[in-house]
Structure 1
Amino acid sequence: LIQPGVDPRLVIGPGTEVIAGENLIATAGGIDSHVHFICPQLIETALAGGLTTLLGGGTGPATGTNATTCTPGAWNMER
């Protein structure tokens, strides 16, 4: 199956890795719009799971938790 608008004579470079896609679904990547950035390893885990975009924020840490470590300003809170 060739997507409309893709020329079947397309030339790829010698460093391009071709992956067989039979019986698979290929997507552009997922978006997680509710992330608590609590450790750097979160990014690698998300990428390994197919996520390409992470959005996080909040109002800062609550008493007794470090689940959200970034605090947006008033501009962010209004939106």
Structure 2
Amino acid sequence: ATMDSVHPKLICAAATTVRDAEGLIATPGGIDVHVHFDSAQLVEHAIASGITTMIGGSLGPITVGIDCGGAWNVGRMLQASQQWPMNFGFLGRGNSSKARSLYDQMRGGCLGLKI
């Protein structure tokens, strides 16, 4: 038997995981793609609001922007984010004329570059 609204030809492959969610509420998680990470409380509020992914940067006040500004800073952001049950993506500074600095930031763990 097939549940109502489930397509009878739905393919469940080896990578498919079925979870018993009876009695639970399942909701999609939100993605915030423009975050100024200037305080840890920001992550707490995002989690409480249903946000599951935060993308951005900044190691200072809002006037600084939303990039992490260098490979070393990206590393510190990655290190600081490990304690949170959240998906993070950090943006590097993309305004360099030197390809090496862009490459170093990406290699350091940036999700992308903010231009």
- Percent identical residues: 36
Aligned length: 61
| Residue number in structure 2 paired with 1:18 | 23
- State the distance in 2 between where 1:32 and 1:2 align: 33
Within 5 Å, give how 1:1-79 maps onto structure 2.
Answer: 4=6, 12=20, 18-19=23-24, 26-57=26-57, 66-67=61-62, 68=65, 70-71=68-69, 72-74=92-94, 75=102, 76-77=113-114
Q: Which amino acid aligns with 1:33?
A: V
SS for the counterpart of 1:55 is strand
Partner Cα distance (2:51, 2:27) in 1: 10
Q: Deviation of residue 27 (structure 1)?
A: 2.9
Distance 2:44 2:22 in 1: 21
**How far apart, in 1, do the equivalents of 2:30 and 2:55 lie?**
11
Amino acid corresponding to residue 23 of structure 2 in structure 1 = V
Relative to its length, the structure with more helix (as a share) is 2
By percentage of residues, which structure has more strand?
2
Q: Residues 37, 31 of structure 1: CA spacing in aligned structure 2 closer, same or farther, 3 A cutoff? A: same
Instruction: Structure 1: give runs of 5+ residues left out of the alignment.
Output: none
